[in-house]
Structure 1
Amino acid sequence: MIKTKQIFLFALVFNSMLISYSQSNNTKLSLSDKKSTANTRILYYNLQKNANKGILFGHQDDLAYGVNWKYEAGRSDVKDVVGDYPAVYGWDLGGLETKSDKNIDGIPFDKMRQYIIDGYNRGGIITLSWHFNNPLTGGAAWDTTPKSLASALPGGESHEKYKAWLDEAAKYILTLKDEKGNLIPMLYRPFHELTGNWFWWCKNNGSPEEFKTLWKFTIDYLQKKGIHNLIYVYNTADFNSKEDFLEYYPGSDYADILSFDKYIYNDPLKDNSFIENCQRQFSIIDQIAKEQHKIIAFAETGYEAIPYDKWWTDTLMKAMSDYKISYVLVWRNHGWQEKEQKMHYYVPFKGQVSEKDFIQFYNLDNIFFEKDAAKLNFYKK
């Protein structure tokens, strides 16, 4: 009996050691910021762990406005339809560089701060992008004047201006705190869609070495300013191979999540290319993530005005199937665009043609909204 008990105890200890080793092996995909806050490290670990269970759903600017409404306390187009908020909230820092009181979408930064705090307090996850102006010309993010990227590098003619912009971002991020005064852990997606050709930081406007230098300088500079609550999301548009995805990649010690953005523009009942291309790109970044001990995400997607009534359960789910994706985020519900004379939204509202399918999507076992995120408690070990 004694020997049996000893063997049993040994087995328990050995099993515990294996679990401990496995966890440490997984978390050796440790954050690129070696001084990251404890809560940030916990969030990153839990994002990785949850990816084995399902995908967190996110929406850009969700709490600020929707189709035919703006700044109504507690409202959300997502919540209007499914009775729950998204698990991931996307916000943009564009406007900080000009010291504007509103961001690029017209949201007052004071309101955005409160929306971030509210979402975090309910258990949601925050992700930030930054459509900042062209540092060389002062034009919008979409101004692709040649040599704009190089101008922001150390020694470049716009470098001091660029540093001043980072100072403004750091000041704002340092105000995003919980009730105990701790900085809120967030996902930051700098220079998004970098393999495109529509932003001043895209690959057509700088060499791989120039881009890597800009990325590394930016992250190092923010950390010198005391920013240690960010998880860095490397984000591309289209790519065709592992080499293509990694061409501008700053290295595994400067990125934490691998992702891409892809929107659908053709009727999925007539054209299956969106699903096929997403699956191809996920297979590539999934391989890289496994090699580098990273996690993956679908950082932006959507079907403008969602004309297909089964888009959520048929198209989007097929595009993501077979891969352990941490989160998917669809773009904002701006509503009517006067200049373009069309509707611009990416989640349904009451009465929209895909409303019922969105409810079915919400009820899937492997899709998580905010109530699920709160139960999973991403900020607790």
Structure 2
Amino acid sequence: MIKQIVTWFALLIMQTVNLVAAKTILPIDSMATIETVALYNNLIKIQSQRAVILGQQDALRYGRSWQGEKDRSDIKDVAGSHPALLGLDFQVLTHLDSNYRKTETDKLVNAVKDMYQRGGIITFSWHMSNPINDGSYEWKENPQIAVLEMLPGGSANRKYQHYLQLMRDFLRRCTGSKGEAIPIIFRPFHEFDGDWFWWGRGHVSASEFIQLWRYTVDYLKNDLDVHQLLYAFSPDCRFQSEEAYLEQYPGDDYVDILGMDNYWDFRPDGANDPIAAMKKLGIVSTIALEKNKLAALTEVGLEQITDSTWFTNVLHPILKKWPLAYCMLWRNAHDIPTHYYVPTTEHPAAHDFGVFCKSKDMILLNDLPLIYKPTKR
């Protein structure tokens, strides 16, 4: 751990020097929009300053006891500010019910525009329907091998292209007041080192996964002319070394952000291992700095928040240990009483969460700088 910290410190100094010296650091898409490049550079700046942006999945769309209310989030109810990053998902784009798909897609476009207008950041994952049969993203519900068939020459390649074209059409609707394309952090095929999704371990080889990732990025950039995305690579927390983390890494030319989803080390049954979580996040952060990339805790949380001091005593020390751009808590479901990761005002952890949010190194929406403004050198 000491060696890792020394390595991290040296790399952080190098990244800071590079940030100051460089006019602009470009993301992997050399044709990225002005706003996307600005987002990328401002995230690097925040990471180098040892601050962490706080986000939550679906935060402004619904909470534990409400949905669809304007200007509300459970985080704002407790901490006085919305999260600075909003997590969303492309799942609805391939829903088989056309009426539902249209209604929910319209809502999703509005959520993107609203967050951008507020000056916040948007990130998308994709619980993608299996293109072999339009079935569930969960392997246990739809055990169909797909990845190899999604590549050029495969039986599902045209269907997958159609999926990405639907994504392109959606993104074209996501524009700001001047018609500019709204930047989005795209996190495809997340938690791929687990076996619960059809794109996960055991259902695809490392080589096939890398081919699919590269094909996806190239098709979006080169064939569909999509240039508003930053690409985030985020396995689950099953790795124990740099080698294991990079086993399915598609290469520096295909990734902007290195992340990790981690719930396993923060289980509500009490079988927690925050030391392991800290070590794994250190691996992510160190690799990111070595590659001059962004690092993030792309999903995290303690379901039901069974420890009333978890945010200040467990999560915050881990976030302070390593340079990260952002941390995203998972959602507060309005229709599943036990599925929530942020306390409401009456929850025993509410005070602790408020203290955590007011920490000088945590950035909520009220404190987020102009993230889409080009940085001055």
Cα deviation for residue 137 of structure 1 reads: 3.0
- Report the CA distance shift for 1:362/1:151 in structure 2 as closer, same or farther (over 3 A): same
Assess, with a 3 A threshold, how the Cα gap between structure 1 residues 32 and 135 changes in structure 2: closer, same or farther. Answer: same
Matching of residue 234 in structure 1 with residue 233 in structure 2: yes
Distance 1:246 1:107 in 2: 39
How far off its partner does 1:351 sit? 0.2
Show the 5 A alignment for 1:185-196: 185-196=183-194
Q: Deviations over 1:147-192 (max 9, x none)?
A: 3111111111111111111110110011100000000111100001
CA distance in 2, matches of 1:186, 1:265: 28
CA contact (8 A) 1:67 1:334 kept: yes
1:348 is matched with which residue? 343
Q: Quick one: higher RCO (CA 8 Å, sep 6+), 1 or 2?
A: 2
Query: How far apart, in 2, do the equivalents of 1:90 and 1:107 lie?
Result: 19
Within a 5 Å distance, the mapping from 1:246-257 to structure 2 comes to: 246-257=246-257
Amino acid at match of 1:363: K
1:58 is the counterpart of 2:55: yes
- Report whether the alignment pairs 1:321 with 2:320: yes
SS of 1:298's equivalent in the other structure is: strand
Counterpart for residue 282 of structure 2: 283
**Contact 2:50–2:320 (8 Å) recurs in 1:** no
Q: CA deviation at 1:287?
A: 2.0
Q: CA deviation at 1:197?
A: 0.9
Q: Give, in whole Å, the separation in 1 of the partners of 2:163 and 2:20.
A: 39
The whole-number CA distance in structure 1 between the counterparts of 2:304 and 2:335 is 10
Q: What is the alpha-carbon distance in structure 1 between the residues aligned to residue 144 and residue 164 of structure 2? A: 22
Q: Which residue of 2 aligns with 1:44?
A: 40
Counterpart-to-counterpart distance in 1, 2:37 and 2:46: 14
AA matched with 2:345: K
Moved over 4 A (4+): 19-22, 24-28, 99-103
Q: Is the 8 A contact 2:19 2:45 kept in 1?
A: no
TM-score, normalized by length of structure 2? 0.88
Instruction: Report the CA distance shift for 1:158/1:317 in structure 2 as closer, same or farther (over 3 A).
Output: same
Q: Distance in 1 between matches of 2:366 and 2:302?
A: 25
Equivalent residue, structure 1, for 2:9: none
Identity of aligned residues (%): 35
Map of 2:169 onto structure 1? 171
Whether the aligned pair in 2 keeps the contact of 1:152 and 1:158 (CA below 8 Å) is: yes
Separation in structure 2 between the aligned mates of residue 251 and residue 162 of structure 1, nearest angstrom: 22
In the alignment, what sits opposite 2:78?
81
Using the alignment, how far apart are the partners of 1:102 and 1:58 within structure 2?
27
**Is this contact kept in 2: 1:88–1:126, CA < 8 A?**
yes
Residue aligning to 2:13: none
1:378 pairs with 2:371:
yes
Unaligned 5+ segments in structure 2 are 1-15
Which letter does structure 2 place at the counterpart of 1:209? S
Equivalent residues, number: 352
The amino acid across from 1:206 in the alignment is V
Matched residue, 1:127: 123
Conserved 8 A contact 1:135-1:151? no
User: Mapping of 1:129-208 within 5 angstroms?
Assistant: 129-143=125-139, 145=143, 147-208=145-206
Change (3 A) 1:266 1:212: closer
Looking at structure 1, the residues matched to 85 and 117 of structure 2 have their Cα atoms a distance apart, in angstroms, of 12
- Show the counterpart of 1:261: 261
TM-score (norm 1): 0.87
| Aligned counterparts of 2:299 and 2:186: Cα–Cα separation in 1 | 13
User: Any stretches of 5+ residues in structure 1 without a counterpart?
Assistant: 1-18
Instruction: Give the aligned residue type for 1:261.
Output: D
Query: For residues 213-251 of structure 1, what are the alpha-carbon distances to aligned partners after superposition, in whole Å with 9 as ceiling and x for unaligned?
Result: 111111111112121000000010021111111111110
Question: Helix, strand or coil: the match of 2:304?
Answer: coil
Q: Give the match's secondary structure for 1:89.
A: strand
* 1:101–1:38 Cα change, 3 Å: farther
Distance 1:195 1:83, change over 3 A: same
Deviations 1:239-273 (A, max 9, x none): 111111111111000000000000155359x6551
SS of corresponding position for 2:317:
helix
Shift of 1:22: 4.9
Whether the aligned pair in 1 keeps the contact of 2:267 and 2:303 (CA below 8 Å) is: no
Displacement, 1:102?
Answer: 4.8
